[in-house]
A = this chain, B = another copy of it.
Amino acid sequence: MTVTDELLANNAAYATHFRGPLPLPPSKHVAVLACMDARLDVYRVLGLNEGEAHVIRNAGGVVTEDEIRSLAISQRLLGTTEIILIHHTDCGMLTFTDDAFKADILADTGVKPAWAAEAFDDIEADVRQSLRRIESSRFITATTSLRGFVFDVATGRLSEVTA
């Protein structure tokens, strides 16, 4: 039995208490962009209920073309206007460099990825960089609030990153 099988059994239990469907557009008009880190349960960290906010996540919580795609769809088709960025302490992205990571992949597979790994060595600086990438996108035009935070994996608390 795989972990996937175990999680499917959890889902069967979840479905017995589930009440749906809710409407498609997020009722709080918020999109959250956060790191994929396992310790960051975005709904619990922000007290979100089902149906309230889009949740976009990737390694680092960084902003690449695909996050611009998701945010553009979120704003233009589903009416979100506030954006919350979340990086966190003890992030895996602090533990390597793009060059070393891609050299390892090249050594293992014979192919060097054409994409950036987006490693960083300063959490707050990378939150600011992510804010700047969103601000500078021509495709993200409905934003009424854009703020970035660092989640502390020791305390559970969000700290705002100021410009």
Interface residues of A (CB under 8 A from B): 2-4, 7-8, 10-15, 17-18, 20-22, 24-31, 36-41, 43-48, 50-59, 64-70, 72-74, 76-78, 82, 84, 89-90, 92-93, 95-96, 101, 104-105, 108-109, 111, 113, 115-118, 138-139, 141, 144-145, 147, 152-158
Contact = CB atoms under 8 A, between A and B. Distances in A.
A73 to B, nearest CB: 4
12 contacts: A2-B145, A11-B45, A11-B157, A14-B47, A17-B156, A20-B39, A21-B39, A36-B74, A43-B44, A69-B115, A69-B116, A72-B117
A147 B3 CA distance: 12
B10 A47 contact: yes
Given A70-B36, A158-B8, A77 B58 contact: no
